[in-house]
Chains A and B, each alone.
Chain A
Amino acid sequence: MKSITFIAAVITGVVTAAACTSSLPHANEQHAEWAAQRWPGVGIAELEQGRNLYVQNCSGCHMLRDPKSQPPDKWPEDVEEMRVKMGGRLSEADAELIERYLITMSATAGMDG
Protein backbone atom coordinates (compact mmCIF):
# COMPACT_ATOMS: atom_id res chain seq x y z
CA MET A 1 0.00 0.00 0.00
CA LYS A 2 2.90 2.31 0.87
CA SER A 3 4.46 1.62 -2.51
CA ILE A 4 1.23 2.46 -4.34
CA THR A 5 0.94 5.72 -2.38
CA PHE A 6 4.57 6.50 -3.20
CA ILE A 7 4.08 5.82 -6.91
CA ALA A 8 0.88 7.90 -6.97
CA ALA A 9 2.74 10.76 -5.25
CA VAL A 10 5.59 10.55 -7.78
CA ILE A 11 3.15 10.67 -10.72
CA THR A 12 1.21 13.57 -9.22
CA GLY A 13 4.47 15.44 -8.63
CA VAL A 14 5.81 14.78 -12.12
CA VAL A 15 2.53 15.68 -13.82
CA THR A 16 2.16 18.88 -11.77
CA ALA A 17 5.78 19.89 -12.41
CA ALA A 18 5.43 19.14 -16.11
CA ALA A 19 2.16 21.04 -16.41
CA CYS A 20 3.79 24.12 -14.84
CA THR A 21 6.60 24.19 -17.40
CA SER A 22 6.66 26.08 -20.65
CA SER A 23 4.78 25.14 -23.78
CA LEU A 24 5.18 26.35 -27.35
CA PRO A 25 4.71 30.15 -27.16
CA HIS A 26 1.59 31.82 -28.51
CA ALA A 27 1.99 35.08 -30.44
CA ASN A 28 1.42 38.34 -28.63
CA GLU A 29 1.51 41.99 -29.70
CA GLN A 30 5.26 42.32 -29.19
CA HIS A 31 5.88 39.33 -31.43
CA ALA A 32 3.52 40.78 -34.04
CA GLU A 33 5.27 44.14 -33.89
CA TRP A 34 8.65 42.50 -34.52
CA ALA A 35 7.23 40.37 -37.34
CA ALA A 36 5.49 43.30 -39.04
CA GLN A 37 8.82 45.13 -39.32
CA ARG A 38 10.29 42.20 -41.23
CA TRP A 39 7.18 41.10 -43.15
CA PRO A 40 4.74 44.02 -43.47
CA GLY A 41 1.14 42.97 -42.87
CA VAL A 42 1.98 39.99 -40.68
CA GLY A 43 0.17 40.08 -37.35
CA ILE A 44 -0.87 37.90 -34.44
CA ALA A 45 -3.34 35.93 -36.60
CA GLU A 46 -0.69 34.92 -39.16
CA LEU A 47 1.82 33.98 -36.47
CA GLU A 48 -0.82 31.86 -34.68
CA GLN A 49 -1.68 30.22 -37.99
CA GLY A 50 2.00 29.38 -38.38
CA ARG A 51 2.04 27.91 -34.87
CA ASN A 52 -1.01 25.72 -35.60
CA LEU A 53 0.49 24.50 -38.87
CA TYR A 54 3.77 23.75 -37.10
CA VAL A 55 1.99 21.63 -34.47
CA GLN A 56 -0.32 19.87 -36.97
CA ASN A 57 2.24 19.04 -39.64
CA CYS A 58 5.51 18.58 -37.81
CA SER A 59 4.53 16.70 -34.64
CA GLY A 60 3.35 13.72 -36.69
CA CYS A 61 6.91 13.18 -37.93
CA HIS A 62 9.13 14.17 -35.02
CA MET A 63 9.06 15.81 -31.64
CA LEU A 64 8.58 19.56 -32.02
CA ARG A 65 11.62 21.73 -31.41
CA ASP A 66 11.58 24.85 -29.31
CA PRO A 67 11.88 27.86 -31.66
CA LYS A 68 14.55 29.24 -29.32
CA SER A 69 16.66 26.09 -29.71
CA GLN A 70 18.52 27.70 -32.63
CA PRO A 71 19.18 31.18 -34.08
CA PRO A 72 16.44 32.71 -36.30
CA ASP A 73 18.51 32.50 -39.48
CA LYS A 74 18.81 28.69 -39.15
CA TRP A 75 15.04 28.06 -39.39
CA PRO A 76 14.45 28.77 -43.14
CA GLU A 77 16.95 26.07 -44.11
CA ASP A 78 15.39 23.53 -41.72
CA VAL A 79 11.80 24.28 -42.74
CA GLU A 80 12.67 23.98 -46.43
CA GLU A 81 14.45 20.67 -45.83
CA MET A 82 11.38 19.31 -44.02
CA ARG A 83 9.00 20.61 -46.71
CA VAL A 84 10.99 18.74 -49.36
CA LYS A 85 11.00 15.59 -47.20
CA MET A 86 7.23 15.80 -46.87
CA GLY A 87 7.03 15.34 -50.62
CA GLY A 88 4.71 18.22 -51.45
CA ARG A 89 2.20 17.60 -48.65
CA LEU A 90 3.20 20.92 -47.09
CA SER A 91 2.56 23.84 -49.44
CA GLU A 92 5.10 26.64 -49.86
CA ALA A 93 2.57 29.10 -48.41
CA ASP A 94 2.07 26.98 -45.26
CA ALA A 95 5.82 26.44 -44.91
CA GLU A 96 6.30 30.20 -45.07
CA LEU A 97 3.80 30.74 -42.24
CA ILE A 98 5.60 28.11 -40.13
CA GLU A 99 8.95 29.69 -40.91
CA ARG A 100 7.76 33.18 -39.92
CA TYR A 101 6.39 31.87 -36.63
CA LEU A 102 9.64 30.05 -35.78
CA ILE A 103 11.88 32.97 -36.79
CA THR A 104 9.79 35.44 -34.79
CA MET A 105 9.72 33.29 -31.66
CA SER A 106 13.45 32.61 -31.89
CA ALA A 107 14.33 36.28 -32.43
CA THR A 108 12.03 37.57 -29.69
CA ALA A 109 12.89 35.07 -26.96
CA GLY A 110 11.68 36.43 -23.65
CA MET A 111 8.49 38.00 -25.00
CA ASP A 112 6.47 34.74 -24.76
CA GLY A 113 2.79 35.33 -24.16
Chain B
Amino acid sequence: MMFRTGRLVAACALAILFSAAEASATQRHFTYTYESPVLNPGDAELEPWTTFKWGRDNYYSSVEQRLEFEIGVVPNLQTSLYWNFAATSQDVTDATGVEARQTEFELESISSEWKYRLSDPVADPLGSSLYLEGALGPTEAEIEAKVILDKRIGQVLLAANLVGEYEWIFDEANKTERELAFELNLGGGYFFTDTLFAGLELMSQTELEHAEELENSVLYAGPTFGYSPGSWWMAMTVMPQIVALKGASQGSSLDLEHHERLQTRFLFGFDL
Protein backbone atom coordinates (compact mmCIF):
# COMPACT_ATOMS: atom_id res chain seq x y z
CA MET B 1 0.00 0.00 0.00
CA MET B 2 2.79 2.37 0.97
CA PHE B 3 4.68 1.41 -2.18
CA ARG B 4 1.62 2.27 -4.30
CA THR B 5 1.18 5.63 -2.56
CA GLY B 6 4.86 6.38 -3.10
CA ARG B 7 4.58 5.58 -6.81
CA LEU B 8 1.49 7.79 -7.09
CA VAL B 9 3.27 10.70 -5.41
CA ALA B 10 6.32 10.20 -7.65
CA ALA B 11 4.12 10.06 -10.77
CA CYS B 12 2.32 13.27 -9.74
CA ALA B 13 5.65 15.00 -9.06
CA LEU B 14 7.00 13.94 -12.47
CA ALA B 15 3.78 15.03 -14.18
CA ILE B 16 4.11 18.47 -12.60
CA LEU B 17 7.81 18.69 -13.45
CA PHE B 18 7.56 17.70 -17.07
CA SER B 19 4.07 18.73 -18.11
CA ALA B 20 3.95 21.25 -20.91
CA ALA B 21 0.48 22.52 -20.05
CA GLU B 22 -0.52 26.19 -20.11
CA ALA B 23 2.47 28.50 -20.00
CA SER B 24 1.18 30.99 -17.46
CA ALA B 25 4.18 31.43 -15.20
CA THR B 26 5.57 34.86 -14.51
CA GLN B 27 9.09 33.57 -14.36
CA ARG B 28 11.65 35.12 -12.06
CA HIS B 29 15.18 35.20 -13.43
CA PHE B 30 16.79 36.52 -10.25
CA THR B 31 16.05 35.22 -6.76
CA TYR B 32 16.64 38.34 -4.62
CA THR B 33 15.77 40.99 -7.23
CA TYR B 34 12.14 41.24 -8.28
CA GLU B 35 10.94 42.01 -11.82
CA SER B 36 7.91 44.07 -12.78
CA PRO B 37 5.57 41.56 -14.58
CA VAL B 38 2.41 40.36 -12.84
CA LEU B 39 0.09 37.43 -13.52
CA ASN B 40 -2.98 37.78 -15.74
CA PRO B 41 -6.28 37.99 -13.79
CA GLY B 42 -7.29 34.52 -12.62
CA ASP B 43 -3.91 32.92 -13.29
CA ALA B 44 -2.29 31.34 -10.25
CA GLU B 45 1.14 30.02 -9.39
CA LEU B 46 2.76 28.15 -6.53
CA GLU B 47 6.31 29.19 -5.62
CA PRO B 48 8.35 27.28 -3.08
CA TRP B 49 11.45 29.19 -1.94
CA THR B 50 14.45 27.80 -0.10
CA THR B 51 17.22 30.01 1.28
CA PHE B 52 20.33 28.53 2.89
CA LYS B 53 22.41 30.83 5.11
CA TRP B 54 25.79 29.75 6.45
CA GLY B 55 28.56 31.09 8.61
CA ARG B 56 28.64 33.73 11.32
CA ASP B 57 31.17 34.52 14.05
CA ASN B 58 30.05 31.32 15.78
CA TYR B 59 28.57 28.25 14.14
CA TYR B 60 25.44 29.25 12.22
CA SER B 61 23.35 27.41 9.67
CA SER B 62 19.81 28.21 8.63
CA VAL B 63 17.29 26.92 6.10
CA GLU B 64 14.42 29.29 5.40
CA GLN B 65 11.44 27.90 3.56
CA ARG B 66 8.78 30.06 2.01
CA LEU B 67 5.68 28.78 0.28
CA GLU B 68 3.96 31.34 -1.88
CA PHE B 69 0.54 31.20 -3.52
CA GLU B 70 0.29 33.92 -6.17
CA ILE B 71 -2.81 35.01 -8.13
CA GLY B 72 -3.67 37.72 -10.64
CA VAL B 73 -6.56 39.84 -9.32
CA VAL B 74 -7.35 42.43 -11.99
CA PRO B 75 -5.24 43.66 -14.93
CA ASN B 76 -1.82 44.80 -13.60
CA LEU B 77 -2.49 43.72 -9.99
CA GLN B 78 -1.50 40.47 -8.31
CA THR B 79 -1.54 39.31 -4.73
CA SER B 80 0.22 36.52 -2.86
CA LEU B 81 0.03 34.70 0.41
CA TYR B 82 3.20 33.31 1.99
CA TRP B 83 3.94 30.87 4.77
CA ASN B 84 7.44 31.48 6.16
CA PHE B 85 9.27 28.73 8.04
CA ALA B 86 12.84 28.61 9.33
CA ALA B 87 15.12 25.98 10.81
CA THR B 88 18.20 27.47 12.46
CA SER B 89 21.13 25.87 14.21
CA GLN B 90 23.66 28.08 15.98
CA ASP B 91 26.15 28.20 18.84
CA VAL B 92 25.02 30.57 21.61
CA THR B 93 26.63 31.51 24.90
CA ASP B 94 24.33 31.65 27.93
CA ALA B 95 24.56 33.97 30.98
CA THR B 96 27.01 31.63 32.73
CA GLY B 97 29.38 31.68 29.75
CA VAL B 98 28.59 28.17 28.58
CA GLU B 99 28.44 27.73 24.83
CA ALA B 100 25.86 25.37 23.42
CA ARG B 101 24.43 24.55 20.01
CA GLN B 102 20.74 25.37 19.69
CA THR B 103 18.47 24.19 16.92
CA GLU B 104 14.96 25.47 16.40
CA PHE B 105 12.26 25.16 13.79
CA GLU B 106 9.46 27.69 13.66
CA LEU B 107 6.69 29.17 11.60
CA GLU B 108 8.08 32.68 11.50
CA SER B 109 5.15 34.45 9.92
CA ILE B 110 2.41 34.54 7.35
CA SER B 111 2.63 37.36 4.87
CA SER B 112 0.56 38.98 2.18
CA GLU B 113 2.02 40.71 -0.86
CA TRP B 114 0.43 43.12 -3.32
CA LYS B 115 2.14 44.08 -6.56
CA TYR B 116 0.91 46.65 -9.06
CA ARG B 117 2.52 46.93 -12.49
CA LEU B 118 2.91 50.44 -13.88
CA SER B 119 4.82 49.61 -17.07
CA ASP B 120 6.29 46.67 -18.97
CA PRO B 121 10.04 45.97 -19.44
CA VAL B 122 9.64 45.23 -23.16
CA ALA B 123 6.65 47.32 -24.26
CA ASP B 124 7.73 50.49 -22.43
CA PRO B 125 11.06 52.30 -22.13
CA LEU B 126 11.32 51.06 -18.53
CA GLY B 127 9.35 48.38 -16.67
CA SER B 128 8.13 49.32 -13.19
CA SER B 129 5.99 48.00 -10.35
CA LEU B 130 5.11 49.00 -6.81
CA TYR B 131 5.16 46.29 -4.15
CA LEU B 132 3.81 46.17 -0.61
CA GLU B 133 4.10 43.26 1.80
CA GLY B 134 2.84 42.81 5.36
CA ALA B 135 3.90 39.93 7.61
CA LEU B 136 2.67 38.79 11.01
CA GLY B 137 4.13 36.05 13.18
CA PRO B 138 4.14 34.98 16.84
CA THR B 139 7.16 37.17 17.67
CA GLU B 140 7.40 39.66 14.81
CA ALA B 141 5.48 41.91 12.46
CA GLU B 142 6.83 43.59 9.36
CA ILE B 143 5.93 45.97 6.56
CA GLU B 144 8.01 46.03 3.40
CA ALA B 145 7.73 48.30 0.36
CA LYS B 146 9.63 48.04 -2.92
CA VAL B 147 10.04 50.07 -6.07
CA ILE B 148 10.80 47.63 -8.88
CA LEU B 149 12.45 48.71 -12.13
CA ASP B 150 13.54 46.49 -15.00
CA LYS B 151 14.36 46.50 -18.69
CA ARG B 152 14.83 43.86 -21.38
CA ILE B 153 17.20 44.97 -24.14
CA GLY B 154 17.60 42.21 -26.72
CA GLN B 155 18.98 39.21 -24.85
CA VAL B 156 19.95 41.29 -21.82
CA LEU B 157 17.76 41.74 -18.73
CA LEU B 158 18.46 44.41 -16.09
CA ALA B 159 16.56 44.90 -12.83
CA ALA B 160 16.80 47.14 -9.77
CA ASN B 161 14.79 47.23 -6.52
CA LEU B 162 14.76 49.84 -3.79
CA VAL B 163 13.40 48.29 -0.60
CA GLY B 164 12.36 49.75 2.77
CA GLU B 165 11.40 47.48 5.66
CA TYR B 166 10.07 48.27 9.17
CA GLU B 167 10.01 45.50 11.73
CA TRP B 168 8.54 45.06 15.21
CA ILE B 169 10.15 42.27 17.25
CA PHE B 170 8.37 41.14 20.44
CA ASP B 171 10.32 38.09 21.57
CA GLU B 172 11.05 39.55 25.05
CA ALA B 173 8.46 40.22 27.77
CA ASN B 174 7.28 43.83 28.03
CA LYS B 175 9.60 44.97 25.28
CA THR B 176 9.12 45.62 21.58
CA GLU B 177 12.19 46.22 19.47
CA ARG B 178 11.92 48.24 16.30
CA GLU B 179 14.21 47.86 13.33
CA LEU B 180 14.41 49.75 10.09
CA ALA B 181 16.23 48.24 7.11
CA PHE B 182 16.97 49.35 3.59
CA GLU B 183 17.92 47.09 0.74
CA LEU B 184 19.12 47.68 -2.76
CA ASN B 185 19.02 44.83 -5.26
CA LEU B 186 20.58 44.91 -8.69
CA GLY B 187 20.47 42.13 -11.26
CA GLY B 188 21.81 41.77 -14.75
CA GLY B 189 21.88 38.75 -17.02
CA TYR B 190 21.77 37.25 -20.47
CA PHE B 191 19.29 34.89 -22.17
CA PHE B 192 21.40 32.22 -23.88
CA THR B 193 18.19 30.64 -25.20
CA ASP B 194 14.49 31.23 -24.43
CA THR B 195 14.81 28.77 -21.56
CA LEU B 196 18.33 29.38 -20.22
CA PHE B 197 19.39 32.53 -18.38
CA ALA B 198 22.51 33.42 -16.40
CA GLY B 199 23.72 36.59 -14.74
CA LEU B 200 24.86 38.37 -11.61
CA GLU B 201 23.00 39.76 -8.58
CA LEU B 202 24.11 42.34 -6.05
CA MET B 203 22.40 43.06 -2.75
CA SER B 204 23.16 45.82 -0.27
CA GLN B 205 21.52 45.47 3.18
CA THR B 206 21.55 48.29 5.73
CA GLU B 207 19.98 48.03 9.20
CA LEU B 208 19.17 50.80 11.65
CA GLU B 209 18.94 49.77 15.30
CA HIS B 210 15.81 51.05 17.09
CA ALA B 211 14.97 52.47 13.64
CA GLU B 212 17.37 55.36 14.37
CA GLU B 213 21.03 54.47 14.46
CA LEU B 214 22.98 52.93 11.57
CA GLU B 215 23.99 49.54 12.91
CA ASN B 216 25.38 47.61 9.96
CA SER B 217 25.60 47.62 6.20
CA VAL B 218 26.80 44.78 4.00
CA LEU B 219 27.18 43.97 0.35
CA TYR B 220 26.47 40.56 -1.18
CA ALA B 221 27.09 39.60 -4.82
CA GLY B 222 27.09 36.40 -6.83
CA PRO B 223 26.01 34.46 -9.91
CA THR B 224 22.41 33.65 -10.76
CA PHE B 225 20.96 31.02 -13.07
CA GLY B 226 17.46 30.49 -14.47
CA TYR B 227 15.78 27.66 -16.38
CA SER B 228 12.26 27.59 -17.77
CA PRO B 229 11.25 24.61 -19.92
CA GLY B 230 7.51 25.43 -20.05
CA SER B 231 4.89 25.23 -17.35
CA TRP B 232 7.42 25.47 -14.54
CA TRP B 233 10.63 27.40 -13.91
CA MET B 234 13.49 27.57 -11.47
CA ALA B 235 16.10 30.14 -10.47
CA MET B 236 19.06 30.00 -8.11
CA THR B 237 21.62 32.46 -6.79
CA VAL B 238 24.77 31.97 -4.73
CA MET B 239 25.61 35.16 -2.83
CA PRO B 240 28.74 35.41 -0.69
CA GLN B 241 29.13 38.48 1.52
CA ILE B 242 31.64 40.70 -0.27
CA VAL B 243 32.27 43.46 2.26
CA ALA B 244 30.78 45.13 5.33
CA LEU B 245 30.52 48.88 4.76
CA LYS B 246 29.62 49.33 8.45
CA GLY B 247 29.79 46.95 11.40
CA ALA B 248 32.61 44.64 10.27
CA SER B 249 33.55 41.95 12.78
CA GLN B 250 36.89 42.36 14.53
CA GLY B 251 39.78 41.34 12.28
CA SER B 252 37.51 40.83 9.27
CA SER B 253 36.19 42.87 6.38
CA LEU B 254 32.80 41.11 6.78
CA ASP B 255 30.00 41.56 9.31
CA LEU B 256 29.54 38.06 10.69
CA GLU B 257 27.66 39.14 13.79
CA HIS B 258 24.43 40.17 12.04
CA HIS B 259 24.87 38.61 8.60
CA GLU B 260 26.02 35.33 7.11
CA ARG B 261 29.11 34.59 5.09
CA LEU B 262 27.05 32.96 2.34
CA GLN B 263 23.43 32.91 1.17
CA THR B 264 22.01 30.63 -1.50
CA ARG B 265 18.45 30.79 -2.73
CA PHE B 266 16.41 28.43 -4.92
CA LEU B 267 13.04 29.40 -6.35
CA PHE B 268 10.61 27.19 -8.23
CA GLY B 269 7.39 28.24 -9.92
CA PHE B 270 4.52 25.94 -10.92
CA ASP B 271 1.42 26.97 -12.85
CA LEU B 272 -1.85 26.08 -11.17
Binding site for B on A (CB under 8 A): 3-4, 7, 10-11, 14-15, 18-24, 51, 54-57, 59-66, 82, 85-87, 89
Contacts and interface: CB of A to CB of B under 8 A. Distances in A.
B151 interface: yes
A86 B22 CA distance: 6
B9 interface: no
A63 B151 contact: no
A85 B22 contact: yes
A7 B122 CA distance: 24
Contacts of A59: 37, 120, 122-123
Interface string B64-87: 000000001001000000000000
Contacts of A15: 126, 149, 160
Contacts of B120: 24, 55, 59, 64
Given A23-B122, A62-B25, A64-B123, 11 more contacts: A3-B245, A11-B186, A24-B123, A54-B123, A55-B123, A59-B122, A60-B40, A61-B26, A63-B37, A64-B120, A82-B23
B219 interface: yes
Contacts of A18: 125-126, 149, 151, 153, 158
A23 B157 CA distance: 13
Determine the main DSSP class of B at the interface with A.
loop
Contacts of B149: 15, 18
B22 A87 contact: yes
B39 interface: yes
A3 B219 contact: yes
Interface in B22-53: 22-27, 37-40, 42-43
Contacts of B153: 18, 21-22
A20 B125 contact: yes
B209 interface: no
Contacts of A86: 22, 24
Contacts of B158: 14, 18
A61 B271 CA distance: 10
B123 A63 contact: no
B124 interface: yes
Contacts of B39: 60
A62 B39 CA distance: 9
Contacts of B22: 61, 85-87
In the complex, which of the residues B152, B186, B245 has the most CB atoms of chain A within 10 Å of its own CB atom? B152
A3 B25 CA distance: 36
A51 to B, nearest CB: 8
B204 interface: yes
B71 to A, nearest CB: 11
In the complex, which of the residues B27, B123, B157, B186 has the most CB atoms of chain A within 10 Å of its own CB atom? B123
B189 to A, nearest CB: 12
Contacts of B42: 89
Nearest to A82: B23
Contacts of A60: 24, 26, 37-40, 43, 72
Nearest to A90: B40
B184 interface: yes
Contact of A23 (B38, B43, B123, B154): B123
Contacts of B151: 18-19, 21
A89 B24 CA distance: 12
13 contacts: A11-B184, A23-B125, A24-B122, A55-B120, A61-B22, A61-B26, A61-B40, A62-B25, A63-B152, A64-B123, A64-B152, A85-B21, A86-B22
